[in-house]
Amino acid sequence: MQNKKCPFFNICGGCQFDFIGEDYRTEKLKKLPKIEFTHDAIWGGVGTRRRADFTFVDGHFGFFKKQSKDIVDVNICPNVVPEINSVLKDIARLPWRGAGSVLITKCENGIDVAVNSDIPYFSADFKNAVEKLPPQIIRFTWNSSIIRKYCEPEIKFNNKIIPYPTNAFLQPTVETEQILRDLVVKYVDGAKHVADLFCGLGNFTFATNATGFDIVGNGIKRDLFKKPLTAQNLNQYDAVIMDPPRAGAEKQSKELAKSNIKRIVYVSCNPTTFVRDKKILENVGYKMNVAIPVDQFIGSTHWEIFSVFEK
Protein backbone atom coordinates (compact mmCIF):
# COMPACT_ATOMS: atom_id res chain seq x y z
CA MET A 1 0.00 0.00 0.00
CA GLN A 2 1.35 3.38 -0.98
CA ASN A 3 2.31 5.79 1.77
CA LYS A 4 0.43 8.87 0.56
CA LYS A 5 -2.98 10.43 0.79
CA CYS A 6 -5.85 11.06 -1.59
CA PRO A 7 -5.87 14.88 -2.06
CA PHE A 8 -9.62 15.00 -1.38
CA PHE A 9 -9.78 12.71 1.64
CA ASN A 10 -11.56 14.30 4.62
CA ILE A 11 -12.72 17.07 2.30
CA CYS A 12 -14.99 15.21 -0.08
CA GLY A 13 -17.51 12.76 1.34
CA GLY A 14 -17.21 10.29 -1.52
CA CYS A 15 -14.96 7.92 0.46
CA GLN A 16 -15.05 7.05 4.14
CA PHE A 17 -11.49 5.66 4.08
CA ASP A 18 -8.34 6.92 2.41
CA PHE A 19 -7.93 4.05 -0.03
CA ILE A 20 -4.37 5.17 -0.80
CA GLY A 21 -3.33 5.38 2.86
CA GLU A 22 -1.13 2.69 4.39
CA ASP A 23 -3.73 1.87 7.09
CA TYR A 24 -6.61 1.42 4.62
CA ARG A 25 -6.92 -2.35 4.83
CA THR A 26 -6.59 -2.43 8.60
CA GLU A 27 -9.34 0.15 9.04
CA LYS A 28 -11.69 -1.34 6.48
CA LEU A 29 -11.44 -4.84 7.93
CA LYS A 30 -13.02 -3.43 11.09
CA LYS A 31 -16.24 -2.95 9.10
CA LEU A 32 -16.66 -6.63 8.31
CA PRO A 33 -19.79 -8.23 9.78
CA LYS A 34 -19.26 -10.64 12.65
CA ILE A 35 -19.63 -13.86 10.70
CA GLU A 36 -17.17 -16.68 10.25
CA PHE A 37 -15.28 -16.10 7.00
CA THR A 38 -13.57 -19.08 5.43
CA HIS A 39 -11.05 -17.11 3.35
CA ASP A 40 -9.03 -13.92 3.64
CA ALA A 41 -10.37 -10.75 2.08
CA ILE A 42 -9.90 -10.11 -1.63
CA TRP A 43 -8.78 -6.54 -2.31
CA GLY A 44 -9.60 -4.37 -5.32
CA GLY A 45 -6.94 -2.14 -6.86
CA VAL A 46 -6.58 1.63 -6.52
CA GLY A 47 -7.85 3.59 -9.52
CA THR A 48 -9.93 0.74 -10.95
CA ARG A 49 -13.50 1.99 -10.48
CA ARG A 50 -15.16 2.08 -13.89
CA ARG A 51 -18.21 4.02 -12.71
CA ALA A 52 -18.83 6.81 -10.26
CA ASP A 53 -21.78 8.98 -9.22
CA PHE A 54 -20.98 12.67 -9.24
CA THR A 55 -23.23 15.55 -8.16
CA PHE A 56 -24.01 18.99 -9.55
CA VAL A 57 -25.61 21.90 -7.68
CA ASP A 58 -25.95 25.45 -9.03
CA GLY A 59 -22.96 25.37 -11.33
CA HIS A 60 -20.71 23.22 -9.16
CA PHE A 61 -19.76 19.68 -10.19
CA GLY A 62 -18.07 17.09 -8.00
CA PHE A 63 -18.83 15.29 -4.75
CA PHE A 64 -20.64 16.43 -1.63
CA LYS A 65 -18.34 17.70 1.09
CA LYS A 66 -18.04 15.47 4.10
CA GLN A 67 -21.20 15.80 6.23
CA SER A 68 -22.42 18.69 4.09
CA LYS A 69 -24.63 19.53 1.12
CA ASP A 70 -21.93 21.80 -0.31
CA ILE A 71 -19.99 20.57 -3.33
CA VAL A 72 -16.28 19.85 -3.60
CA ASP A 73 -15.35 20.78 -7.17
CA VAL A 74 -13.67 17.69 -8.62
CA ASN A 75 -12.06 17.33 -12.03
CA ILE A 76 -9.88 14.33 -11.19
CA CYS A 77 -10.46 11.38 -8.84
CA PRO A 78 -7.72 8.87 -7.91
CA ASN A 79 -10.39 6.21 -7.33
CA VAL A 80 -11.62 5.96 -10.95
CA VAL A 81 -10.05 4.56 -14.10
CA PRO A 82 -7.87 6.84 -16.26
CA GLU A 83 -10.46 6.89 -19.06
CA ILE A 84 -12.95 8.67 -16.79
CA ASN A 85 -10.33 11.07 -15.45
CA SER A 86 -9.39 11.98 -19.03
CA VAL A 87 -12.85 13.52 -19.63
CA LEU A 88 -13.73 14.67 -16.12
CA LYS A 89 -12.43 18.22 -16.57
CA ASP A 90 -14.53 18.67 -19.70
CA ILE A 91 -17.65 17.35 -17.97
CA ALA A 92 -17.03 19.52 -14.89
CA ARG A 93 -16.87 22.65 -17.12
CA LEU A 94 -20.34 22.13 -18.58
CA PRO A 95 -22.87 24.92 -17.75
CA TRP A 96 -24.58 22.98 -14.97
CA ARG A 97 -27.84 24.46 -13.67
CA GLY A 98 -30.16 23.15 -10.98
CA ALA A 99 -29.18 19.99 -9.17
CA GLY A 100 -28.86 16.28 -9.82
CA SER A 101 -26.50 13.33 -10.12
CA VAL A 102 -24.20 12.29 -12.95
CA LEU A 103 -23.33 8.62 -13.39
CA ILE A 104 -20.19 8.24 -15.48
CA THR A 105 -19.41 4.73 -16.71
CA LYS A 106 -16.49 3.39 -18.71
CA CYS A 107 -17.84 0.91 -21.25
CA GLU A 108 -15.92 -1.28 -23.67
CA ASN A 109 -16.24 1.23 -26.50
CA GLY A 110 -16.28 4.58 -24.71
CA ILE A 111 -17.70 6.64 -21.86
CA ASP A 112 -21.41 6.82 -20.97
CA VAL A 113 -22.74 9.83 -19.04
CA ALA A 114 -26.22 9.72 -17.49
CA VAL A 115 -27.67 12.79 -15.76
CA ASN A 116 -30.51 12.21 -13.31
CA SER A 117 -32.31 15.35 -12.19
CA ASP A 118 -35.70 16.56 -10.98
CA ILE A 119 -35.39 19.23 -13.66
CA PRO A 120 -36.88 17.59 -16.76
CA TYR A 121 -35.15 19.79 -19.32
CA PHE A 122 -31.70 21.03 -20.30
CA SER A 123 -30.80 24.39 -21.80
CA ALA A 124 -29.71 25.09 -25.36
CA ASP A 125 -26.26 26.18 -24.20
CA PHE A 126 -25.91 22.96 -22.21
CA LYS A 127 -26.79 20.92 -25.30
CA ASN A 128 -24.27 22.88 -27.38
CA ALA A 129 -21.57 22.32 -24.75
CA VAL A 130 -22.30 18.58 -24.61
CA GLU A 131 -21.98 18.32 -28.38
CA LYS A 132 -18.44 19.73 -28.08
CA LEU A 133 -17.30 17.14 -25.52
CA PRO A 134 -14.48 14.73 -26.50
CA PRO A 135 -15.54 11.93 -28.87
CA GLN A 136 -14.73 9.20 -26.35
CA ILE A 137 -17.98 10.22 -24.60
CA ILE A 138 -20.23 8.11 -26.82
CA ARG A 139 -23.57 8.73 -25.11
CA PHE A 140 -24.87 11.56 -22.93
CA THR A 141 -28.39 11.42 -21.54
CA TRP A 142 -30.47 13.74 -19.37
CA ASN A 143 -33.08 11.62 -17.60
CA SER A 144 -34.63 9.72 -20.52
CA SER A 145 -33.55 12.20 -23.20
CA ILE A 146 -30.49 11.51 -25.34
CA ILE A 147 -28.46 14.68 -25.89
CA ARG A 148 -25.69 13.01 -27.85
CA LYS A 149 -25.08 9.47 -28.99
CA TYR A 150 -22.32 8.28 -31.31
CA CYS A 151 -22.99 4.56 -30.82
CA GLU A 152 -24.57 2.10 -28.41
CA PRO A 153 -22.40 1.67 -25.29
CA GLU A 154 -21.35 -1.93 -24.74
CA ILE A 155 -19.97 -3.97 -21.88
CA LYS A 156 -18.30 -7.37 -21.94
CA PHE A 157 -18.57 -10.35 -19.61
CA ASN A 158 -15.59 -12.48 -20.59
CA ASN A 159 -16.10 -12.53 -24.38
CA LYS A 160 -19.84 -11.85 -24.37
CA ILE A 161 -20.69 -8.35 -25.64
CA ILE A 162 -23.86 -6.81 -24.12
CA PRO A 163 -25.56 -3.46 -24.86
CA TYR A 164 -25.37 -1.22 -21.80
CA PRO A 165 -28.72 0.45 -20.93
CA THR A 166 -28.56 3.89 -19.33
CA ASN A 167 -28.20 3.67 -15.52
CA ALA A 168 -28.01 -0.14 -15.54
CA PHE A 169 -26.24 -1.87 -12.65
CA LEU A 170 -22.63 -2.98 -13.08
CA GLN A 171 -20.09 -4.24 -10.62
CA PRO A 172 -17.90 -1.19 -9.87
CA THR A 173 -14.65 -2.68 -11.16
CA VAL A 174 -13.85 -5.09 -13.96
CA GLU A 175 -11.26 -6.76 -11.74
CA THR A 176 -13.63 -7.69 -8.91
CA GLU A 177 -16.40 -8.54 -11.37
CA GLN A 178 -14.12 -11.17 -12.91
CA ILE A 179 -13.11 -12.47 -9.49
CA LEU A 180 -16.75 -12.90 -8.47
CA ARG A 181 -17.62 -14.51 -11.80
CA ASP A 182 -14.75 -17.01 -11.46
CA LEU A 183 -15.89 -17.89 -7.95
CA VAL A 184 -19.48 -18.39 -9.07
CA VAL A 185 -18.39 -20.62 -11.96
CA LYS A 186 -16.19 -22.66 -9.61
CA TYR A 187 -18.92 -23.31 -7.06
CA VAL A 188 -21.75 -24.16 -9.48
CA ASP A 189 -19.51 -26.54 -11.41
CA GLY A 190 -21.30 -29.84 -11.99
CA ALA A 191 -24.82 -28.40 -11.83
CA LYS A 192 -26.78 -29.08 -15.02
CA HIS A 193 -29.61 -26.60 -14.44
CA VAL A 194 -28.78 -23.29 -12.75
CA ALA A 195 -31.08 -20.38 -11.89
CA ASP A 196 -29.46 -16.93 -11.75
CA LEU A 197 -31.71 -14.78 -9.59
CA PHE A 198 -31.41 -10.97 -9.79
CA CYS A 199 -29.20 -11.64 -12.82
CA GLY A 200 -28.93 -8.05 -14.11
CA LEU A 201 -27.16 -7.86 -17.45
CA GLY A 202 -25.79 -11.38 -17.12
CA ASN A 203 -22.42 -11.24 -15.39
CA PHE A 204 -22.95 -14.76 -14.04
CA THR A 205 -25.70 -15.94 -16.38
CA PHE A 206 -23.70 -16.52 -19.54
CA ALA A 207 -20.66 -17.99 -17.79
CA THR A 208 -22.79 -20.66 -16.07
CA ASN A 209 -25.32 -21.24 -18.87
CA ALA A 210 -28.00 -20.34 -16.33
CA THR A 211 -31.61 -19.25 -16.65
CA GLY A 212 -31.67 -15.60 -15.57
CA PHE A 213 -34.47 -13.81 -13.73
CA ASP A 214 -34.72 -10.06 -13.17
CA ILE A 215 -36.83 -6.99 -13.88
CA VAL A 216 -34.33 -5.68 -16.42
CA GLY A 217 -31.38 -7.12 -18.27
CA ASN A 218 -31.01 -10.36 -20.19
CA GLY A 219 -33.10 -12.68 -18.04
CA ILE A 220 -36.76 -13.61 -17.81
CA LYS A 221 -38.59 -10.43 -16.79
CA ARG A 222 -39.73 -11.13 -13.24
CA ASP A 223 -39.77 -8.89 -10.17
CA LEU A 224 -38.35 -11.24 -7.54
CA PHE A 225 -39.19 -8.79 -4.74
CA LYS A 226 -42.89 -8.92 -5.54
CA LYS A 227 -43.02 -12.39 -7.08
CA PRO A 228 -40.15 -14.62 -5.97
CA LEU A 229 -39.69 -18.00 -7.57
CA THR A 230 -41.68 -20.51 -5.55
CA ALA A 231 -40.21 -23.67 -4.08
CA GLN A 232 -41.95 -25.59 -6.86
CA ASN A 233 -40.34 -23.33 -9.48
CA LEU A 234 -36.94 -23.74 -7.85
CA ASN A 235 -37.02 -27.52 -7.58
CA GLN A 236 -36.33 -27.91 -11.31
CA TYR A 237 -32.81 -26.50 -10.76
CA ASP A 238 -29.69 -28.12 -9.35
CA ALA A 239 -28.17 -24.88 -8.05
CA VAL A 240 -29.12 -21.24 -7.56
CA ILE A 241 -27.06 -18.07 -7.92
CA MET A 242 -28.44 -15.04 -6.11
CA ASP A 243 -27.02 -11.50 -6.39
CA PRO A 244 -29.71 -9.13 -5.11
CA PRO A 245 -29.53 -5.34 -4.62
CA ARG A 246 -28.79 -3.86 -1.20
CA ALA A 247 -32.31 -4.70 0.01
CA GLY A 248 -31.32 -8.36 -0.06
CA ALA A 249 -33.65 -11.25 -0.89
CA GLU A 250 -35.84 -11.93 2.12
CA LYS A 251 -38.92 -13.25 0.28
CA GLN A 252 -36.83 -15.25 -2.15
CA SER A 253 -34.78 -16.72 0.69
CA LYS A 254 -37.99 -17.92 2.37
CA GLU A 255 -38.96 -19.76 -0.83
CA LEU A 256 -35.46 -21.23 -1.12
CA ALA A 257 -35.82 -22.45 2.44
CA LYS A 258 -38.84 -24.52 1.36
CA SER A 259 -37.14 -25.91 -1.77
CA ASN A 260 -35.00 -28.96 -2.51
CA ILE A 261 -32.08 -26.87 -3.81
CA LYS A 262 -28.83 -28.35 -2.51
CA ARG A 263 -26.49 -25.46 -3.30
CA ILE A 264 -27.03 -21.69 -3.19
CA VAL A 265 -24.31 -19.26 -4.26
CA TYR A 266 -25.21 -15.93 -2.64
CA VAL A 267 -23.36 -12.74 -3.62
CA SER A 268 -24.32 -9.81 -1.38
CA CYS A 269 -23.42 -6.11 -1.45
CA ASN A 270 -25.01 -5.45 1.96
CA PRO A 271 -23.78 -7.40 5.01
CA THR A 272 -26.84 -6.36 7.06
CA THR A 273 -29.42 -7.89 4.73
CA PHE A 274 -27.06 -10.78 4.03
CA VAL A 275 -27.00 -11.73 7.72
CA ARG A 276 -30.82 -11.60 7.79
CA ASP A 277 -31.14 -13.89 4.75
CA LYS A 278 -28.38 -16.16 6.03
CA LYS A 279 -30.44 -16.85 9.18
CA ILE A 280 -33.47 -17.78 7.06
CA LEU A 281 -31.43 -20.39 5.20
CA GLU A 282 -29.57 -21.73 8.23
CA ASN A 283 -32.81 -22.16 10.17
CA VAL A 284 -33.86 -24.91 7.75
CA GLY A 285 -30.53 -26.73 7.66
CA TYR A 286 -28.37 -24.90 5.13
CA LYS A 287 -24.74 -24.53 6.15
CA MET A 288 -22.53 -21.69 4.93
CA ASN A 289 -19.43 -23.57 3.75
CA VAL A 290 -17.76 -20.68 1.94
CA ALA A 291 -17.67 -17.00 2.94
CA ILE A 292 -15.26 -14.55 1.31
CA PRO A 293 -15.22 -10.75 1.77
CA VAL A 294 -14.40 -8.76 -1.39
CA ASP A 295 -13.41 -5.09 -1.33
CA GLN A 296 -14.92 -3.90 -4.58
CA PHE A 297 -16.45 -0.71 -3.16
CA ILE A 298 -13.01 0.77 -2.69
CA GLY A 299 -12.81 3.64 -0.20
CA SER A 300 -16.28 3.02 1.22
CA THR A 301 -17.40 1.11 4.32
CA HIS A 302 -19.23 -1.40 2.10
CA TRP A 303 -18.12 -4.99 1.56
CA GLU A 304 -19.20 -7.52 -1.02
CA ILE A 305 -19.68 -11.01 0.42
CA PHE A 306 -19.37 -14.16 -1.67
CA SER A 307 -20.89 -17.21 -0.02
CA VAL A 308 -22.01 -20.77 -0.66
CA PHE A 309 -24.79 -22.50 1.26
CA GLU A 310 -25.33 -26.25 1.07
CA LYS A 311 -27.55 -28.85 2.67
Structure confidence by residue, pLDDT tens digits, 222-279: 999 999 999 999 999 999 999 999 999 999 999 999 999 999 999 999 999 999 999 9
Low-confidence ranges of the chain (pLDDT < 50): 1-3
DSSP 8-state symbol, 175 = H
Among candidate residues 253, 214, 211, the one with its CA nearest the CA of residue 230: 253
The maximal CA–CA distance of the chain, rounded, in angstroms, is: 62
Cα distances (Å, whole numbers) of residue 59 to 67, 94, 129, 243: 20, 8, 14, 37
Cα distances (Å, whole numbers) of residue 58 to 25, 73, 96, 149: 36, 12, 7, 26
Cα distances (Å, whole numbers) of residue 76 to 7, 84, 91: 10, 9, 11
Measure the CA–CA gap between 113 and 298, rounded to whole angstroms: 21
Measure the CA–CA gap between 217 and 214, rounded to whole angstroms: 7
Question: Would you say the pTM of this structure is higher than 0.75?
Answer: yes
DSSP 8-state symbol, 258 = T
Q: Which helix (H) or strand (E) element contains residue 233? A: helix 231-234
Query: E-assigned strands of the chain?
Result: 42-43, 51-57, 60-64, 71-73, 99-107, 110-117, 137-142, 145-149, 154-157, 160-163, 194-197, 211-214, 220-221, 239-242, 263-268, 287-295, 304-310
Domain 51-155 in CATH 2.40.50? The answer is yes
- Every domain range in the chain assigned CATH 2.40.50: 51-155
pLDDT of residue 21: 84
DSSP string, 53-95: EEEEETTEEEEEBTTSSSEEE-S--TTB-HHHHHHHHHHHTS-
Q: Which helix (H) or strand (E) element contains residue 179? A: helix 174-187
H-assigned helices in 235-293 = 250-257, 271-282
Q: Which residues contact 97 (CB under 8 A, 6 or more apart)?
A: 58, 59, 119, 123, 126
Q: Which residues contact 254 (CB under 8 A, 6 or more apart)?
A: 228, 280
- Every domain range in the chain assigned CATH 3.40.50.150: 171-310
Measure the CA–CA gap between 17 and 24, rounded to whole angstroms: 6
Superfamily of domain 171-310: Vaccinia Virus protein VP39 (3.40.50.150)
